[in-house]
Amino acid sequence: QVQLQESGPGLVKPSGTLSLTCAVSGGSISSSNWWSWVRQPPGKGLEWIGEIYHSGSTNYNPSLKSRVTISVDKSKNQFSLKLSSVTAADTAVYYCARVLSVHDAFDIWGQGTMVTVSS
């Protein structure tokens, strides 16, 4: 069964770039699924960040689009998130997730990784 695992620094300085990777195991990132990033600030709800297909096609949340880059590395079976010019408002648990099918639900989630933006 497919499993997802996020990794990356837990602390990022203000104005810096947040970088996370999601490793896909038990399946291929080149399957007919989109792959997403979702975040959750402490004590708050879920926010969709964006998604990528193995071809490299991407869609981003317009509220973050100017700062977000999602990429895929098929050779390593993983995809990544970069969020630039971070502020304290970007402090959150970041989840990677598999999209069931186009426009559809997130059926598999990583365990999440907490990223704090602080000097």
Partner 1 sequence: QSALTQPASVSGSPGQSITISCTGTSSDVGGYNYVSWYQQHPGKAPKLMIYEVSNRPSGVPDRFSGSKSGNTASLTISGLQAEDEADYYCSSYTSSSTRVVFGGGTKLTVL
Give the interface with partner 1 as residue ranges (CB under 8 A). Answer: 36, 45-48, 51, 59, 61-63, 95, 100, 103-107, 109-112
For partner 1, the closer of residues 11 and 46 by Cβ is 46
Contact 61, 118 (CB under 8 A): no
For partner 1, the closer of residues 72 and 96 by Cβ is 96
- Nearest distance, CB of residue 103 and partner 1, angstroms: 4
- Nearest distance, CB of residue 107 and partner 1, angstroms: 5
Q: Phi, psi (5° rounding) for residue 108?
A: -130, 135
- Nearest distance, CB of residue 56 and partner 1, angstroms: 17
- Nearest distance, CB of residue 104 and partner 1, angstroms: 6
Maximum pairwise Cα distance, the chain: 41
Handedness of CA 56, 79, 106, 33 (dihedral sign): positive
Contact 9, 115 (CB under 8 A): yes
Residue 43 token pair = 């004590």
For partner 1, the closer of residues 75 and 100 by Cβ is 100
For partner 1, the closer of residues 49 and 72 by Cβ is 49
Residue 73 token pair = 């590395």
